[in-house]
Amino acid sequence: MSKPPPSQPRAPGPATPPESPEQTLMATMVRRAHEFTLPALLDALQAVGLRAEEVIFRSHLSHSHQAYLVYSVEFLGDPRRAVVTLNIGLLAAQSPLPSYFFSVLERGGHNTEALLAVLYLIDHPLLRERARSEYPERDRRTVSDWEHAKGLLLRLLAPQSPRTLHWLFQRVFPELGLSVERATSELPLATDQVIIGTTALGESRALGGQVRLSHSALTVTLYCEEAESLTGRPWTQEGARRLQQFILPLLRESALYLQLWMAFTGRDALARLSSSHRKPDGFLGHEPLSRAVSQPSPPEHSLIASQSSQRVLLFSGYTDSRDL
């Protein structure tokens, strides 16, 4: 019995080219469309090279409410387009159209496709503007100057009120507890001297010189359980940086007298006046808090807090001052 001839090895076929990053992102959008928010989806479509006019919006024909906004994403070629189907619009469950249109679509017939084409044509610009409204800061046709618009919105919120100020500081300092309360502060005011006749006693303060006026203020207190932030920077420096960078520019248009305190709680602390300007962690004579037990012999000019809290003044003055 003769042996069968040995099988010849097959010639390797052409290797499948690897997917490009654009193709991988497009496949992810198709597979996980319902997980995208609308602004993120538009950014992803722009990342794969699609222009705004190449994105077509449609609504999903449904009689029930859906739990997500984006229903599906479909890519078409020749010409290259992307069809984004949303769970809102004229064909969705919250449609403003009369039920007559849905009954015609359910019955079917020769005019069903024509009716869908007309509804898709009307739906596209409505959904496109709805998508653009998700990020008005990017669309200058909606808001020409977004920074100016944000300033107007902040004025409508009345930043002089404790509630608005609490909302603002809570977003700038999400790690810390805070309290906002109205207070009365005294402001020294230099006045012109009024001297009648001739006097040799108290010429600098004869009916004038300086007076202290009482005025209303808002006091903000930030409560810290640790001396340093998560980045390792002392909270005294981090708080001053966030105040100058994020809060004071928003309050420059408001004639508000603000006091910002930072209270360190939850530990016995050692406050020490810094005598060297070379120490980068000093702030207004205050160094980061450390446990008193770690200092066997407190240095000179030191004060050991008997209670588990200490307050440091970060800012006191008018927010509309041009010298800030």
pLDDT tens, 37-87? 888 999 999 999 999 889 999 999 888 888 889 999 999 988 899 999 999
Place of tokens 């017939």: 109
Decide: 243 and 254 in contact? Cβ < 8 Å.
no
User: Who has greater pLDDT, 57 or 201?
Assistant: 57
Would you tell me how many other CB atoms lie within 10 Å of the CB of residue 320? 14
User: Who has greater pLDDT, 285 or 127?
Assistant: 127
DSSP-derived letter for residue 153 is H
pLDDT number for residue 121: 92
pLDDT number for residue 11: 54
Res. 239: pLDDT tops 60: yes
> In the chain, what percentage of residues exceed pLDDT 90?
21
User: Who has greater pLDDT, 19 or 167?
Assistant: 167
CA distance 287 to 310: 12
CA distance 123 to 87: 12
Instruction: Please name which of 277, 308, 312, 276 lies closest in space to residue 292, comparing C-alpha atoms.
Output: 308
Cα atoms in the Cβ-side hemisphere of radius 13 Å centred on 186: 4
Helices (H), the chain: 21-31, 38-47, 99-107, 112-132, 146-156, 162-172, 235-242, 248-251
pLDDT number for residue 268: 47
Mean pLDDT, the chain, integer:
77
Mean pLDDT of 185-205: 61
In the sheet with 70-76, reading across from the earlier edge strand, the strands are 55-59, 81-86, 70-76
SS3 228: strand
Mean pLDDT of 264-282: 54
For 124-183, the pLDDT digits (tens) are 999 998 888 888 777 777 778 877 887 788 778 888 888 889 999 999 999 999 999 888
pLDDT number for residue 83: 93
Res. 193: pLDDT tops 80: no
